[in-house]
Structures are given as C-alpha cells and as structure tokens.
Amino acid sequence: MASPTSDGAPGWIGARLKRKEDERFLYAAGRYVADVRLPGLKDVAFVRSDVAHGRLLGVTKPEGADVFTLADLGPLNDLVAGPEIAEFRTSLYPPLAGDKVRFVGQPVAAVIAATRAEAEDIAAEVLVETEELGAVTDAVAALAPDAPRLHEAWADNAFIAAPVIAGDQDALAAAPVVVRRRLKMNRQATVSLEGRGVVAHYDRRYGELIVHLSTQGAHVMRRGLAEVLGLAENRIRVIAPDVGGGFGGKNRLTPEEIAVCAMALKTGQPLRWIEDRREHLIASLHAREHTYEIALHAEADGTIIGMSGDVYIDAGAYALWPTGAFMEASMAARNLTGPYKARALNLQTYTVATNKAPMGPYRGVARPGACFAIERMVDELAAELGMDPIEIRRRNLITEADLPMRTVGGLSLDTGHYPAALDMACEMIGVDKVRARQKAGEADGRVIGLGIAVYTEQSGHGTSEWMKRKARVVPGHESANVRMHPDGTVDIAVGIQNHGQGLETTLSQIAATELGLHPDAINVRYGDTATTPFGFGTFASRSIVFSGGAVAKGCREVAAKARRIGAALLQVSADDVRIEAGEIVGPAGSVSLAEVARAATLRPEFLPEGEDALLETTVSYEPADSAGVFSYGAHAVVVAVEPLTGAVDLLDYVVAEDCGTVINPLIVDGQIVGGVAQGIGTALYEEIPFDPELGQPLATTFGDYMVPCASEIPDIRIGHLVTPARVTEYGVKGMGEGGAIAPPAAVGNALADAFRQSRAQFLETPFTPRRVSDAVAAADGEGAR
C-alpha cells in the first residue's frame, strides 16, 4: 500500500484510507455542543446592540426576568488581547457592553430562560437606551482627523500603523514602469456549518467549571477563561466535542462564551448558548476586509522590482483574545511579493478600528487578500506591457535553483518547483484550447476568460515566526501522549482539535506506521483538557506538521521500548529485532505486541531487568526549523460571463499543488476542494456590506449572504507535485488553507482576461453580478451608476 518505513514495517504514509471519523457523521451520530444534555439545563439569549456606535445609557430589565448586564457578571478580570507590541493600542472587549456599544450585534445583556424561545421573548422586552454616535464604516476614512473616535483615549482610530520597508529602495524609485491600482477584498463571515456554542456548568465533584465549547483549541481557550474568570486552570475543564467547522473563526475567545461561563458560575445552573445563523453573520468574528492602494514597480521587460503603497485592514471594533486580527497587516504586506523574485517593498500598513464586528482569522489569513493584490497586479502589469500573463509569471517566478531563499518580505521559502506548478496548471486547463474557444466566440453571447494565480502557503511555523509576530500565545510546539494498552491497542491523546481535517485518520496512519500496527488499532483522542496533554489546537495549517511530528516521535519512543522488551522475551539483542504487523520480529521467531504490552502492564515479571513498566510516553515536538514550510500551487480557471447581467459561470477549475509528502491523498484532495469552494465564495459571493452612514450590517440571513452551494462549485481537477520538506517528519507540509488563497485572484484575472479588449477593471471582491456588469458597462462607456 505504501513504502516501508526505515524500520522495515509496512507503512501507511500515502495510503488512500477512507476517513475513520466519517462513519459517525454519515450515521448522524456525531456529538456537538448542542447535543449535550444536562439535567436542569437552561438556555441563554443575548440582547444585542441595534446601533453601530453609541453611549450605553441604561438597560431596563423586565420585572421578574433573569437578565444579566456587565455589572451582574463580575467581578471579572480584564482580558488584554492583541499582540505584545508597545505601539499597539489595546481595547478591552467586555463580555457584555460597558459604557459604549461599538457595533450592531454587540452583546449588551443576557437572558436565562427554560427554552431559547422564551429567552428570546424576554430579550425582546429588555429596553436598551443609547445615545447614538457617528458610525465609522470605512477603514480609510476612519483615519481622517475628524472621524468619530471608537476608543476615546486613542489619538486616531488605528489599532496600529506599521511600515514594512525592505530591500532595494533605489531600484523601486527608479523603476521605469509603475502600475497603480486600488484593490479591495470585502468583509465576510466564516460560515462554519455549526456556529459557535457553549454549555457551561459547575461540577462539584472536582470543584470545576466544565465548559463544552465549539472551539479549535480547548487548552488555549481554558487559559483565556481562567484569566478572565479568575479561576485556577485546574478548576476549568474545557471539552470540545465534535466541532462542525471552524476555519479560524473558533480560534478566538468570544464575549458570549465568557458571559455564559460567568453566569453559570453566578447561578450554579447549567447554561447553554447556541449561536443561530443571524447571530453568526452579525456578531461572530468577521474576516478578510483589506484595502490595497498599491503600485507594482517593474522593468520595461516585465521583471518585477517590488511593491509600494498602503495596506488597510478593517479590524472591526475590538481585539479578540488572544491576538485578534493583528497578524493580518504584516502577513498581507510580507506576502505581497507572492512567489516572485521581487527586490523591494515599501509599504505602510494600517490596522483600523471600525464600528463592525471584530475581525479574526479565516482560512488563508491575509494571504487571499495579498494573493489577490499581487496576482491581479501582475496581470495588470502584463496588460500594461502587452505581455502574456503566463509569460510574465515565468519570467518572475522563483525557481528551484533559487531555493531555499528569504524573500524581501522576510519569508523563508524552503523547497519546491514553482514554475512546474504553473506549467502543470496551464497544461491541465488547456490554454491553447481555451484561447481558440475565445477566438471563436460563444453562440449565447457570453464572454470567455482564462485566469491564473500562483501562491505560497506558509505552514507548520513555530516559535521564531510567532515571536516575530509578537503573539500573546506562541504556538511553537505540539504534544502527544501515546499509550499502549495490555492488549496491544493504542490510544493517542493530542492537543490539536480535529474539526474536519481528517486528523483521526492521518494521525492513525502515522502511529500505525511507527508502531507496525493497522490504523484501526489506533484511537486518536482530542478536545478535552482533562484527558489530553497541553496543545495549541488546529489552525494555521499546523496540525499535520506539529501533531503528526509529535505522534511520530512518541510512537517511536514506545516502539523502541517495545522492541527492547520483545527482544528480551525472544532472548535476542534489541538491535536484531524489528516491529512489523503487530509483532516484534527477531532472527528466529517473533512475539506479538500484545504479549509485549501485557508484560509492560499486567505481568511485570516478564520485563527485562531495569526496564520500567508501561508502554506510554508524552512528548512535545517542534520542527527543526520554526520558520515554517511552504506549500504552493497554481490555480487556473475558465469563466463564462454574461456581459449585461454580470453572471459568472465557472466552466473549469484546476489546481496544481505541492504540499510535500502526502499522508493521505484522499484527505489532501478533500481539503483542496473545500478550500477552493470557500475561495470561490470570497471571489464571487460572500460579503457583509454595511450601511455607510448607520453602520447597519446588510447581509444578516442567507437570503442576503450568498454562500456557494453545490450548483456553484465546478468539478475541481487536481494535479500533484511532491517536493518533501527538509525539516519535518516524512517531509510533510501543511496544506489546509491553500485552496482558499488563490481563487479570488484566479477568478479576477479570468474576468480581466475576458474583457481585456475594453480593459474593464476587476479590482474588488466579491465579483457579484452587479460589480461585473457595472465594470463592463463602465469600460464600454455606459454610466454604471
């Protein structure tokens, strides 16, 4: 099935194993927070601000109702969030509003009732008095001196402004070709199928608060809850059961979660809050909103010199614990040279507070915006110079010979063959055939366009990289507890949180490979601070690198001990045995792992002298180099556009990618398809616009917030290159986010290609029919209005 490991055991690395976790999901037997049943459980509904910005004058509770305001929750500790940078302006985000409300949907009060419906009835009776202040809805206008101030103590509305200046500034200034554009990627929600959810109750047995939480990282969330609630960490147990998607959105501690825990402590009652879709769209963390006012500097032959200009991140009203949205600006700026041999950056970044829900991480974090900016700009440069977009990329792409290299943005690109990915994507999409079809024209009047985008995806980065970002929590390692039971089966407890990544399967494959067992003999456990070793959780495409590495390391320790015990039982040297198919195999005989495990547990009299009992270990792991390993790829898409309505149909979509050694090809392909689907959402559909004066969100149900569904996603064809990483176990690289990075750029380039004659401008996502139709009409000289 796969190549043997160094130990000679048949390996499971690369096996197309169906996901172990899918059985329970397909039988509808998954268990989510909303499935938790406790005697006496009551429901919570929140009263939310209906103004974007205002002074909170008072909250009137209906008589006899169980309603909490901020004063009723206390005393709570301040939960300071954001990066640990002196210039960063902090903004405490109280679990229920204090003196001000700063976005529509901010929780103001919480109601407890027997059912959610009753709680909502009471919530509708709670009177919230506010003195309305001017709403700030645009990150650029927010910096004007006379803009209303969200946080009065600040000198302006920027959380932080930071320059990114690197490389050859003279070359930048002397560039013969400078292409300037304003690009915008609009705000969206994360839209996990399961929204946020929390069930909290105080348990007298251990004297602890037990919190069932839909989260990507139970241990880190426990830390935040302990800080704000003033409890010892061993008095809080966070359990994350099945989590129905997170995409980054469940990697921050949010006010509703804190409020429910505080109320459960106050009342001694088991309490539940399950986010509904409207709450999710209005008040869950938002993502993506970047504005780029930038210039691409190049030689006359199309050689890219670098990028200059301003990057604005609309971070919303508050910083969410631990680090809010404050990796966005630097990641966007540092990724703005893309996979190209650029020499210089001269950027000013602004992370700005506005009267919108706080921004947080979402699959791809900042790179969909950066990729959109650089890849659209490369096509704009090509158009300016009359060059072919594919040729201009070939001229500028970093090649295998250049690697490893440190980019001007400070990213340490490790291994890969970027031009090969571009070539593969071009061949898969059939560039000549598409060009011929474009030339022939369409009978139905639609216009065909071809778009390409190349990206890199930093993954598996550890201590040095997160320290560079001044993160409050530095996810520099991951842990695994490996425990072999007396019958030779294995439980592995990890600190990551599988929530759709197939990690129960891939970590089993790694363990099975190292222990000479079938993956079915391995049980992967996670999502409970009481039963798993400390870990940071699943985000930033880190789990296969970190947790996979920890599992490999721990299993090797256990396997080595099993070999020693097995060798002793066989009366041969440990050097002469290997572990294979559930046996310790010696020169003249073998002993089963079950027998070895029995000796290590139930029958210590069979242990060799000086060998401790148990086949169990807890290890932590970080790759040899913590700057990260870079997956990469090229996407190509063919669109058909109806010029009048602006309707965009994706006729073909191909991905050529390289994520190093693949543990399970089925899962890798699944991650790519899911990521591309979300990227198509960013490219064409998903957007939360705001009323510019009032700050009201204008997409608050799925009637207005468009999510791509099966009918909108073409059959995505995938090709693989494999360049193993040098510093990780097996040569793996993380790849969970890559699919979502390139689609906005690829689709934007395809639209620009379709209308290259008229030079219609496609610089703002999502490319809704209205935006596309208006762009086409404007280029044709018709007022778009």
404 versus 441: smaller Cβ distance to another protein: 441
* Alpha-helical runs (H) found in 268-314: 277-283
625 versus 642: smaller Cβ distance to another protein: 642
511 versus 776: smaller Cβ distance to another protein: 776
514 versus 774: smaller Cβ distance to another protein: 774
86 versus 710: smaller Cβ distance to another protein: 710
| Residue 28, both tokens | 């509808």
If you compute the radius of gyration of the chain from its CA atoms, what whole number of angstroms results? 27
Least Å distance, CB 778 to another protein, is: 10
Grouping H, G, I as helix, E, B as strand and the rest as coil, residue 17 is coil
| Residue 38, both tokens | 């406790």
629-688 residues in contact with another protein (CB under 8 A) are: 642, 644-647, 684-685
Bond from prior residue into 665 cis (ω within 30 degrees of 0):
no
- Does 770 bind another protein (CB under 8 A)? Our answer is yes
Give the count of alpha carbons within 13 A of 257, CB side only.
30
Binding mask 541-580 for another protein (x = CB under 8 A): ----------------------------------------
Binding-residue total with another protein (CB under 8 A): 32
Taking the C-alpha atoms of residue 452 and residue 634, their distance in angstroms, rounded to an integer, is 7
What residues pair up with 297 in beta bridges, in sequence order?
178, 306
Q: Which stretch binds another protein (CB under 8 A): 198-206, 247-255, 362-370, 699-707?
A: 699-707
121 versus 423: smaller Cβ distance to another protein: 121
Among 708, 731, 743, 748, binds another protein (CB under 8 A): 708
| Residue 292, both tokens | 């780029």
Among 39, 386, 703, 781, binds another protein (CB under 8 A): 703
Among 177, 228, 292, CA closest to 75? 228
Grouping H, G, I as helix, E, B as strand and the rest as coil, residue 558 is helix
Among 3, 571, 711, 757, binds another protein (CB under 8 A): 711
Among 8, 701, 722, 759, binds another protein (CB under 8 A): 701
Grouping H, G, I as helix, E, B as strand and the rest as coil, residue 187 is coil
Least Å distance, CB 684 to another protein, is: 8
Contact, 481 vs 534, CB < 8 A? no
204 versus 785: smaller Cβ distance to another protein: 785
Among 145, 386, 781, 783, binds another protein (CB under 8 A): 783
Contact, 749 vs 761, CB < 8 A? no
Least Å distance, CB 648 to another protein, is: 10
Bond from prior residue into 322 cis (ω within 30 degrees of 0):
yes
| Residue 493, both tokens | 């407890």
Least Å distance, CB 699 to another protein, is: 11
79 versus 112: smaller Cβ distance to another protein: 112
Taking the C-alpha atoms of residue 3 and residue 9, their distance in angstroms, rounded to an integer, is 9
Q: Which stretch binds another protein (CB under 8 A): 212-220, 234-242, 481-489, 703-711?
A: 703-711
576 versus 782: smaller Cβ distance to another protein: 782
Type and span of the H or E element at 129: strand 127-132
Least Å distance, CB 282 to another protein, is: 11
Contact, 541 vs 725, CB < 8 A? no
**Nearest 10 degrees: Cα torsion 238, 243, 245, 251:** 0
- DSSP letter string over 415-442? S--HHHHHHHHHHHHTHHHHHHHHHH--
Q: Which stretch binds another protein (CB under 8 A): 15-23, 53-61, 345-353, 708-716?
A: 708-716
Least Å distance, CB 784 to another protein, is: 6
Q: Which stretch binds another protein (CB under 8 A): 112-120, 337-345, 539-547, 563-571?
A: 112-120
239-298 residues in contact with another protein (CB under 8 A) are: 276-278
Contact, 648 vs 666, CB < 8 A? no
Q: Which amino acid is it at 780?
A: D
Taking the C-alpha atoms of residue 370 and residue 660, their distance in angstroms, rounded to an integer, is 23
Q: Which stretch binds another protein (CB under 8 A): 338-346, 485-493, 532-540, 773-781?
A: 773-781
Least Å distance, CB 540 to another protein, is: 30
| Residue 9, both tokens | 């055991």
276 versus 301: smaller Cβ distance to another protein: 276
Least Å distance, CB 752 to another protein, is: 20
Binding mask 117-146 for another protein (x = CB under 8 A): x--xx--x----------------------
Taking the C-alpha atoms of residue 423 and residue 427, their distance in angstroms, rounded to an integer, is 6
Q: Angle, nearest 10°, between helix axes 543-570 and 503-515?
A: 30
Q: Which residues contact another protein by CB under 8 A?
A: 116-117, 120-121, 124, 276-278, 642, 644-647, 684-685, 701, 703, 706, 708-709, 711-712, 768-770, 773-774, 777, 782-785
